Structure 1
């Protein structure tokens, strides 16, 4: 009978790759994540359990994992926010799982992070280290694998931002030029995880999974730009330190609204400190070196999809910002110009009371949608609302004030591009 493996964080960047590798190796795999829909969309060939990893109790884990032979923990979060609690995800979950599985022969494979330490400069690294320590002090069979920056065919978080930075038009915005980065291919990482699952690693292995050499962040960006098939930048401009901090603070603010921006202060601090590991810890287990960054890139040639993604990645925050400003401004202008708007309607045969009701309804709708699109879990619904309201505006104007379509400033014509922008935004809202 095939061994049963449960992959926590199964539709994430690392988790989804783990599932594919483990299935190919003959394991009976079950994915675990918050959403069954996202899991099945990621891979409909395996079973899925919907579990909030950060809040599930020991009793719930005992029930969920009752037939498990192996646990692969690929779940993680970069920073505390509206959707994430680092201590809950990185520490409490492992406490509850090890308690639930106490006395069993289950093997727990922990995907941690190179540089994880309780003395690290970020809570991400500190919480990862605390979780590792909980596991290592348990009675389970365990392995702790600590990758550096994972390079994958898929893109999410830091790897997505790296593609976007490499595709930035004309200008290389230089940040942290002295930061040293080591990478690891997702194939090398999933191969290491599969070896641990098949019992081919020494018991209780702790190893950094990484290439041997490091490169500067600028060098890494240029390698990605070359990989994308784009021409070299025309000019390089160093980013002032204050602007980097400001971007981090803005990204943190949006993190409280549910957006998992890879530009939050934790990511920037991690990048500034460098992302490096000790490749010798993996070699000491009797395994070969992981491939270099150049070898990794050569193994996954870029296609038009990668170029489109890289160029459009920064389009989402720009589109969300423009839509929020546009709709909030429309509502505010409606308040300021209430008498003028009322006059426009009453001149076309609409009663004062109905005109006031229509204008007030429009103001409330505009401001509500402009604010809602900034909240991650409401953004899709807000976009649908924007399209619906815009279509209603067009129909209403054609019925009551068709002359507005001939206005030299084209106030109604401008609604159509806003609908197109909203449709574009919906189409790229999906994270993974």
Structure 2
């Protein structure tokens, strides 16, 4: 079957695409810019923008030859044109109307488990579900609980892994008793494959949940054991502090901390009674327990690296930004006479040396600020690395005496070069 998948490169979407490919389906990835993801080099991709493709005419050309549609597109927070109304309601509805016009009967909507009063994310998802249910299509809505994978993580699943992997400490929002019913991402993919194989299962809403209800504390401890880390002191984090951290994350607009994560960390996320039985009855699906899923994929060293570096890398980036800002301030505050003394034997005039010092200080301030704001990080970190290499080689060749500086001025650049290189190669988050 030829299947169009929106949001195909997201954490859940990628697992669904992989499951569809393994089942022999021909998958077309509808993604922004029609870029080819290196994880799926052999799959076709078509351009779409869930923030702007709000008319059925935008979608009709993409449905040529398509037999089924799986909508995995979603955002955890609004940013610019990417609003909940557009991404979760208007664009999907335009796609669904296009399916009616094109004769594509089978539509599977990946929604979210929860209640409308849980927040704007859940409410908008459910409004999108209701709009789909009103159309003459063979629709099926799947609402997953907390989704995880032992073979990778992203966003909130990465945050929870990192919390489980903190050295000697296990932070627990509240007391960690929030109930969860987590489901493996691979089982979400299996549910979509099963749904396509059972076209008669239509006009229904199914909750995708695992077989066990776990407290957040037990969930984090399971991941800590899987990572191979020893016992840790459980630290209860007061709810007001959790809310504050999530509010700051929402305002900063980066990372998984935000209003959606706040709801999960306060209220948990479980399905209705009998949800597992309905999954087995309707799709023949028996999701694995967390213990079983972790046992099937033992952790590797890169899993432990990722868990421990999750909080360390942002701290490193902030410290680098502060260093660049400090360097810029010092460059502007250093008196002209001291600037000339710092470059003995230079062929440049005192005025030229001062202008050069002030110019590089200005660039340091700019790059430090952009790094702190996380603006185009690859470009900014690359510019920082280029400047640092230029400083080190230029000063080291022109004034080799600085290598012998008792405070190790140039020698300290070497670990900074390594730190910038580390930030560059780990900038990719997906």
TM over 0.5: yes
Matched, 1:208 2:207: yes
| Shift in CA distance, 133/389, structure 1 to aligned 2, threshold 3 Å | same
Once the two structures are overlaid, the 10-residue window that deviates more, 138-147 or 400-409, is 400-409
> Among 292, 308, 314, which residue is 1:295 paired with?
292
- The 5-angstrom pairing of residues 347-386 of structure 1 reads 347-349=344-346, 350-376=348-374, 378-386=376-384
State how far apart, in whole Å, the 2-side matches of 1:167 and 1:340 are.
Answer: 51
Question: Contact 2:211 / 2:287 at 8 angstroms: preserved in 1?
Answer: yes
Match of residue 4 from structure 1: 2
What is the alpha-carbon distance in structure 1 between the residues aligned to residue 422 and residue 33 of structure 2?
A: 24
Distance 1:45 1:330, change over 3 A: same
- Cα distance change, pair 36–377 in 1 and its aligned pair in 2 (3 A): farther
Q: Distance in 2 between matches of 1:408 and 1:266?
A: 52
> Per the alignment, do residues 401 and 11 of structure 1 end up closer, same or farther by CA in structure 2, a change over 3 Å counting?
same
Between the aligned partners of 2:338 and 2:241, the Cα distance in structure 1 is: 41
Q: Distance in 2 between matches of 1:390 and 1:254?
A: 28
Q: Distance in 1 between matches of 2:164 and 2:202?
A: 40
Residues 383 and 422 in structure 1, CA contact (< 8 A), matched pair in contact too:
yes
Match of 1:245 in 2: 243
Q: Gaps spanning 5+ residues in structure 2: where?
A: none
1:91 aligned partner: 89
RMSD: 2.0
C-alpha distance in 2 between matches for 1:68 and 1:377: 38
* CA 85–282 in structure 1, closer or farther in 2 if over 3 Å, else same: same
Greater alpha carbon shift after TM alignment, 243-252 vs 123-132 = 243-252
Question: Match of 1:41, SS?
Answer: coil
Q: Secondary structure at the match of 2:282?
A: coil
- Report SS of the residue matched to 2:376: helix
Q: Please say if 1:326 is aligned against 2:347.
A: no
Query: Which one is further off, 95-104 or 134-143?
Result: 95-104
Cα offsets for 1:242-267 (capped at 9, x unmatched): 43233223323431xxx3x1122321
Distance (whole Å) between structure 1 residues aligned to residue 287 and residue 144 of structure 2: 11
- The whole-number CA distance in structure 2 between the counterparts of 1:83 and 1:227 is 40
Residues 324, 30 of structure 1: CA spacing in aligned structure 2 closer, same or farther, 3 A cutoff?
A: same
Partner deviation per Cα, 1:365-395 (whole Å, 9 max, x = no partner): 1111112224445100011101100011112
Which whole-Å CA distance do the structure 1 matches of 2:81 and 2:53 have between them?
15
- Gap change, CA 1:324 and 1:252, over 3 Å in 2: farther
- Is 1:308 the counterpart of 2:300 in the alignment? no
1:47 to 1:105, Cα distance in 2 relative to 1, 3 A: closer
Q: How big is the shift at 1:66? A: 2.6
Task: State the alpha-carbon separation in 2 of the partners of residues 400 and 105 from structure 1.
Answer: 70
1:316–1:145: structure 2 CA closer, same or farther, 3 Å change rule? same
Deviating 4+ runs (over 4 angstroms): none
User: How does the TM-score come out when normalised to structure 1?
Assistant: 0.92
Unaligned runs of 5+ residues in structure 1 are: none
Match of 1:262 in 2: 256
Structure 1 equivalent of residue 271 of structure 2: 277
Matched residue pairs, number?
A: 422
1:288 positional shift: 4.5
Pairwise CA distance, 1:424:
0.3
Distance 1:302 1:415 in 2: 35
